[in-house]
């Protein structure tokens, strides 16, 4: 999966690298697609030079080694799309209009943007700041660089997800995207009964996936001795919103897995729990594939 990142001298901010890799068989083998948008660890030299902090601060944005959670799924017949470019460069789980104006220099007048709680909090399309870290950059990002990042990283990633979902829908009657993330350990006090969830499933309150898929996911998670929550505090963001259309036979589930379950005590490197969580994710994918495949048979027969 390693590749070189070079800066295009003709287009400021253009990243000449594979923004993602696609693993798995050439042909569709079932209705489930896997994506991992926040585990990228490629930081172009331009990005490192503009950081106001050591690299470790930017790495806090990563879903640390979430790609390790899906290792081997390609060998089980799944197509797996894994982002390579770091979230600090551009956030693939944000609307391309979700831009904090304070992050951008040289923006044309009247540029159509949206303002969300994420961008107001410093975590828009181009992350601006982090709690207990502060501002991430020495200077604002120029608008030409911002557009180049959208064109070279964000747009191709979502175009590929769309392509894969269309192909699966055509072959199987319906498609289900399992969007894999990790989260900082949640505080038990935030949840009733003082029991924190280990995994949060997001279906945008039923808008991005049929409710039965979320309930099946909760059952699998429980089978592995873990606690789950549905849509709280992570209901799913742009990827689920964009690619989940249950009425059209396209479903998207976001899953957030607590990092202390599979990383070491410093939450930096893979830990002893990795194998168990990887097995849970594989079981989740297999069980969803079975359920979605059962429904696909009916969908294809109806068509």
- Total domain count, the chain: 1
State how far the alpha carbon of 77 is from the alpha carbons of 30, 200, 242, 285, in Å. Answer: 8, 25, 25, 11
Burial group, residue 96, by CB count within 10 angstroms (0-12, 13-18, 19+): buried
User: Which tens digits make up the pLDDT trace of 2-60?
Assistant: 223 333 333 344 445 689 999 999 999 999 999 999 999 999 999 999 999 999 999 99
- Identify the CATH number of the domain in which residue 261 sits: 3.40.630.40
Residue 1 in domain: no
Residue 106 in domain: yes
Q: What is the number of H-type helices and E-type strands within the chain?
A: 8, 13
Q: Which of 227, 287, 284, 224 is nearest to 258 (CA)?
A: 227
- Domain assignment of residue 185, given as a range: 6-302
User: Which tens digits make up the pLDDT trace of 206-223?
Assistant: 999 999 999 999 999 999
Residue 214 in domain: yes
pTM metric for this prediction: 0.91
Residue 65 in domain: yes
Residue 168 in domain: yes
Residue 126 in domain: yes
Say what the pLDDT of residue 208 is. 98
Cis amide prior to 233 (ω within 30 degrees): yes
Residue 289 in domain: yes
Q: Which of 74, 68, 80 is nearest to 276 (CA)?
A: 68
Residue 151 in domain: yes
- The tokens describing 98, both together, are 């979700």
Sites in the chain below the pLDDT cut of 50: 1-15, 298, 300-303
Could you give the percent of the chain with pLDDT greater than 90? 84
CB contact at 8 A, 114 and 95? yes
């Amino acid at each position: 999966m390693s590749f070189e990142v070079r800066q295009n001298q003709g287009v400021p901010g253009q990243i000449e690298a594979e923004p993602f890799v696609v693993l798995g068989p050439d042909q569709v083998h079932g209705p489930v697609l896997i994506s991992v948008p926040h585990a990228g660890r490629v930081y172009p030299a331009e990005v490192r030079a503009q950081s106001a902090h050591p690299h470790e601060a930017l790495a806090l944005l990563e879903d640390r080694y979430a790609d390790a959670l899906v290792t081997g799924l390609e060998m089980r017949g799944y197509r797996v799309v894994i982002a390579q470019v770091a979230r600090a460069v551009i956030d693939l789980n944000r609307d391309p209009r979700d831009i904090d104006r304070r992050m951008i220099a040289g923006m044309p007048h009247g540029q159509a943007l949206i303002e969300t709680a994420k961008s107001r909090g410093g975590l828009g399309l181009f992350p601006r700041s982090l709690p207990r870290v502060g501002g991430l950059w020495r200077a604002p990002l120029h608008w030409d660089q911002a557009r180049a990042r959208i064109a070279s990283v964000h747009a191709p990633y979502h175009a590929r997800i769309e392509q894969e979902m269309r192909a699966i829908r055509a072959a199987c009657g319906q498609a289900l995207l399992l969007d894999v993330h990790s989260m900082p350990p949640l505080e038990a006090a935030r949840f009733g009964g003082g029991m924190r969830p280990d995994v949060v499933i997001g279906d945008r309150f039923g808008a991005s996936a049929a409710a039965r898929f979320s309930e099946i996911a909760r059952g699998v998670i429980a089978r592995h001795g873990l606690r789950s929550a549905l849509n709280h505090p992570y209901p799913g963001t742009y990827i689920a919103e964009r690619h989940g259309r249950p009425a059209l036979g396209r479903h998207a589930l976001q899953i957030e897995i607590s990092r202390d379950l599979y990383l070491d005590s410093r939450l930096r490197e893979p830990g002893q729990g990795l194998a168990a969580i990887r097995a849970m994710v594989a079981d989740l994918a297999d069980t969803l594939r079975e359920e979605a495949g059962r429904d696909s048979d009916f969908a294809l027969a109806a068509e």
